[in-house]
Chains A and B, each alone.
Chain A
Amino acid sequence: MSESLVEPGQMDASKRTWLIASSCVGAVGGIAAVVPFVSSFQPSERAKAAGAAVEADISALKPGEKMTVEWRGKPVWIVRRTPEQLAALPKLNSQLADPKSERKPAEQAPVYARNEARSIKPEYMVAVGICTHLGCSPSDKFQTGAQPSLPDDWQGGFFCPCHGSTFDMAGRVYKNKPAPDNLEVPPHMYLSDTKLLIGEDKKA
């Protein structure tokens, strides 16, 4: 290759081949260099480690009250439902999008919460307080009856201020609302009658 002088207008095919080949190798290297940069967008090891289970003490919770605990940076609601609120649940089935939690069951609730009340003990509802539409945190609308933004026969539940999705007292989404799914029930277990572990259920 040392003295391959080429007449003007002529093409050195072997030189061109090598030019193309080395450009391709260079391009592959350039693309490979993108990988570490894109990877740096992923959650850091520290962020991943912060996802441990949390304990909640529910002894002080009175019927009709809600408490919130933080798990993986998300609000997890624990609501102690009144008998009236529980009694209203079956009546709502026809107005709900997915009353029996059959859509994407693996994502929306663990096996032990795939019942009408979506809970282990009907009295206590445990759910991630993040709307399945776009991640806002719905607000409590436990008061029944007509009120702004809600239907006149409202039976109590949650209302998402962002796009108007409504959920019943079991976190089940109403029909024709932007949110596609019921509120997520996180894996959880009772350590005792008054102690709840959120984020883990394997020790049961």
Chain B
Amino acid sequence: MAEYHEISPNAPAAEKLLNWVDNRFPASKLFKEHMSEYYAPKNFNFFYIFGALSVLVLVIQIVTGIFLVMHYKPDAALAFGSVEYIMRDVPWGWLIRYMHSTGASAFFLVVYLHMFRGLIYGSYRKPRELIWLFGCGIFLVLMAEAFMGYLLPWGQMSYWGAQVIVNLFAAIPFIGPDLALLIRGDFVVGDATLNRFFSFHVIAMPLVLLGLVVAHIIALHEVGSNNPDGVEIKAKRDASGKPLDGIPFHPYYTVHDIFAVSVFLMVFTAIVFFAPEMGGYFLEYNNFIPADPFKTPLHIAPVWYFTPFYSMLRAVTDEMMYALIACVLAGAFLTVTRVRMPTLFKGVIVGGAAVIVAMMLSIDAKFWGVVAMGGGVMILFFLPWLDNSPVKSIRYRPDWHKYLYAVFVLDFLVLGYLGILPPSDIGGRVSQIGTLFYFGFFLLMPWWSRLGEPKKVPDRVTFTAH
């Protein structure tokens, strides 16, 4: 609570107005804390634009969404027609709708790159665990938002995609079928489902999303940004207490981000105008056919941003269960024999492994497929506590770590590609190996991240003026 600040009666009107506001609301204080006196490391590279870009896409989605709701009808009998009405009869409706549909794919693209940045530079390490957790929350909510939004055009892919995903919940033992009924609000996906997904998509999820975004940024500005060197800039300050390697976010990074935004918008508008369907990857062809509850399209695939996790779902078959059981047993055996701990803990681990194996043998592979898909996302939340490497940034990790991360990225892309394709024997086998690698990468990280000799981390960030 600042004291009331008087200003000279001869001050210009604008200054008087600002002073009047500042005495009642911390406008200047907020601007300084988050913009002009928020010191960001000066060695940011290309990968540091995606945070700002995801905020931009969020704004695009909210604004275009508001305008779409003015013409859209959340009714199973009218929904498909109302989307076509927006496309054909509403003045500029096609542009607003294509911005929204392209925005969805753009959102995931920038968020995936943003997450990749965090992964390679160790931006989730102490003291930034909560930033990472809020970010994972954003990713999760974003997936729910995208999934529910995809039902709204009420095309064949909307319908059958929702049918498949809602039935995932039915695979949960005991409560599953009732839970799926509760989500659908009917015995099959229908009008009730469409209405509630509309409600979640336009109000519930966006509110949660905005809250998480604010928390993400507040947490970031509390601890300060990481950088490609993984060096804490706050450790070296000048006489006035400013970090030596920090530069004010405004004007330096605001200008930097405006440039990135311009480039992004060129690509974005090019897609909106010339390839809004992106060859069936952003808007699937089957979704231009109205939903038909009696006819599943010959090939169902989720939109590209879900496919890596969808591949994990498909990878879990009865055969795969034996491999997974072997992994659980090997994991328990290694933990008990190689890690030092009280006998009681060992007993708990052996008992736990026995229970899990018993469950794996008695519950359908279908349920474990759902667990793999959900686990693929949930495991990201644990990353800050899985990484035991003595250095944060990939730059100072042993070289083979870089190759391992490269294989991980490749694995993720291959899983994504296979998730788009129709099921096949060879594809299924590859996605099973890919799924094992994906989980192995994270679950074995506490061990492998400690191996090898890290390079010397510099005291200050590496930076050459340009």
A positions within 8 Å CB-CB of B: 38, 41-44, 47, 51, 68, 70, 72-75, 129, 133-139, 149, 160-164, 175-180
Contact = CB atoms under 8 A, between A and B. Distances in A.
A177 B294 CA distance: 22
A70 B187 contact: no
Given A74-B188, A149-B422, A41 B196 contact: yes
Given A163-B314, A176-B318, A134 B164 contact: yes
A141 B186 CA distance: 30
B296 A136 contact: yes
B294 A137 contact: yes
Contacts of A136: 160, 163-164, 296, 300
Given A51-B187, A178-B366, 12 more contacts: A38-B182, A43-B186, A43-B187, A72-B187, A75-B293, A135-B164, A136-B163, A136-B164, A161-B296, A161-B298, A176-B317, A177-B317
A159 B175 CA distance: 28
Contacts of B364: 180
Given A42-B182, A43-B186, A161-B299, A75 B294 contact: yes
Contacts of A175: 318
Contacts of B185: 41-44, 47
Interface of B: 160, 163-168, 170-171, 181-188, 190, 192, 196, 293-300, 314, 316-319, 364-366, 369, 422-424, 428
Nearest to B313: A163
Given A161-B422, A180-B366, A138 B183 contact: no
Q: Chain A at the B interface: mostly helix, strand, loop or mixed?
A: loop
Given A73-B293, A178-B365, A41 B183 contact: yes
B427 to A, nearest CB: 10
Contacts of A149: 422-424
A41 B428 CA distance: 37
A56 to B, nearest CB: 14
Contacts of A160: 296
B278 to A, nearest CB: 22
A73 B184 CA distance: 13
A38 B178 CA distance: 13
Given A161-B296, A161-B422, A134 B188 contact: no
12 contacts: A72-B187, A74-B187, A74-B293, A133-B366, A134-B165, A134-B171, A135-B170, A136-B164, A136-B296, A149-B422, A160-B296, A161-B298
B181 to A, nearest CB: 6
Given A136-B164, A164-B423, A178 B369 contact: yes
A73 B186 contact: yes
A99 to B, nearest CB: 16
Contact of B296 (A138, A164, A180): A138
A117 to B, nearest CB: 24
A133 B436 CA distance: 22
Contacts of B299: 161
B294 A135 contact: no
Contacts of B168: 134
A178 B317 contact: yes
A113 B318 CA distance: 27
